Amino acid sequence: MGSKFKAGCHKVMGDLGGADAVDLHCGLDALVARGIADPGRIGVTGVSYGGFMTARLITQSARFAAAVAVSPHTNQVTARPLSNIPQFMARLLADEMNNPRGTYFERSPVLHVRKALAPTLNICGALDRCTPAEEAIQFHRALLDSGSHSVLVTYPHEGHGIRRLPAALDCAARVAAWFMEHMPARM
């Protein structure tokens, strides 16, 4: 099974969700080629930048059976002004926010949901100032509007990531259940 992705070490600065996504696909290709990963049961999850990458990957490839995006930034145009770390987007996208053909738009998973096929669990903290809950909410609604299966869970007393008990236990149980439901073990 060949891959359209080329392996290599790539930068992230100025190429958010570009070459770094290629590297992740290359790793998955290697795991599948070695028989370590089942190509029909690949899930993806991450928190913060990993939440963004989860959203980005499922809008760029149909290889994922299920996804869980936690505290993601999914709309780079809104993430920059809403976040308490606006310089993060400025540095990683290396473009002007008002460039409609630029990276702020091209690298916003919310604008590419029509390509997303993986059932997606979106998790956010209502008090998150780094990647505000609006980012997960936008992605969830866009997925639903495009006909994708999406569930949104907002923890009212959590910030960036789900860390406190009992929310952390509830979150872990939901993530495990999501992957078990959408990637059942093969007998």
Number of domains in the chain: 1
pLDDT, tens digit, 9 for 90 and up, residues 170-179: 999 999 999 9
pLDDT, tens digit, 9 for 90 and up, residues 90-146: 888 887 888 888 888 889 999 999 999 999 999 999 999 999 999 999 999 999 999
User: Does a structural domain hold residue 4?
Assistant: no
Range of the domain at 29: 19-182
pLDDT at 91: 81
User: Does a structural domain hold residue 118?
Assistant: yes
User: Does a structural domain hold residue 8?
Assistant: no
The answer, yes or no, to whether residue 9 has pLDDT greater than 60, is no
> Which helix H or strand E contains 44, and what residues bound it?
strand 43-47
Q: Give the pLDDT band (50/70/90) at residue 11.
A: low
CATH code where residue 79 lies: 3.40.50.1820
User: Does a structural domain hold residue 10?
Assistant: no
User: Does a structural domain hold residue 14?
Assistant: no
User: Does a structural domain hold residue 163?
Assistant: yes
pLDDT, tens digit, 9 for 90 and up, residues 135-170: 999 999 999 999 999 999 999 999 999 999 999 999
User: Does a structural domain hold residue 157?
Assistant: yes
pLDDT at 87: 84
Contact 42, 49 (CB under 8 A): no
pLDDT at 176: 97
Contact 167, 173 (CB under 8 A): no
- Mark out the alpha helices in 38-182 (DSSP H runs): 49-58, 76-82, 86-93, 103-106, 133-145, 167-182
Contact 17, 61 (CB under 8 A): no
C-alpha angle 183-170-177 in degrees, rounded to nearest 5: 15
